[in-house]
Structure 1
Amino acid sequence: MSNVSGIFQKMGERFDSDAASGVDEIFQFDIDDEMWCATIADGTCDISETEHDDPSVTLTMDEETLANVMSGELDGMQAFMEGKIKASGNMMLATQLTAIFPA
């Protein structure tokens, strides 16, 4: 199991269904050319290693940045401003990630 899959497994375990209430979105992650997708709907979360045809937002970063943001060591907005995270699509959704997947 790659470190990336371990990070996404932990994200799934930390998923906060209350914070995701009313969220019906698809988060695509491009991590060192590994494609991961988190589909959030009706307070549930499905994370899989796949590329979605029409994600709500796509976040591109390296494994280290993903690990640091999801562990709370690095602020996602700060990482974005420093160019460590690139986002396309509905960028406002990216700001909800730390609430939906709390560290």
Structure 2
Amino acid sequence: MQRHGQLIGIGTEAIAEYKALHAAAWPQVLETITACNIRNYSIFLKEPENLLFAYFEYVGEDFDTDMARMAADPVTQQWWDRCKPLQRPLDTRADGEWWAELNEVFHHD
């Protein structure tokens, strides 16, 4: 199992809409997340900095293939089209990233 943390900004004016979207997340998007071996997926909001922190556990064997499969799903693409305009990617993210990947520095079970 791999643990992943990600960070992105969100506009102040977008917070209510983002929360509403995720309070009624589309079932097919959730099914795709599960089918792509993602478990224990959470998104947290830090105000007033307006940062979203995502955490998930990957339980598959080929992360890149599973993420490509998720990205190819038409319903997931529609979901992202709704969410992306609300998000503010960090200027310091790596090339090719939307959400900035975080490096784990400590874990305790």
Higher CA-based Rg: 2
Instruction: Answer 1 or 2: higher relative contact order, Cα 8 Å, separation at least 6.
Output: 2
Q: Give the TM-score band, short-chain normalised.
A: 0.3 to 0.5
- TM-score normalised according to structure 1 size: 0.34
Query: Could you tell me the TM-score, scaled by structure 2's length?
Result: 0.33
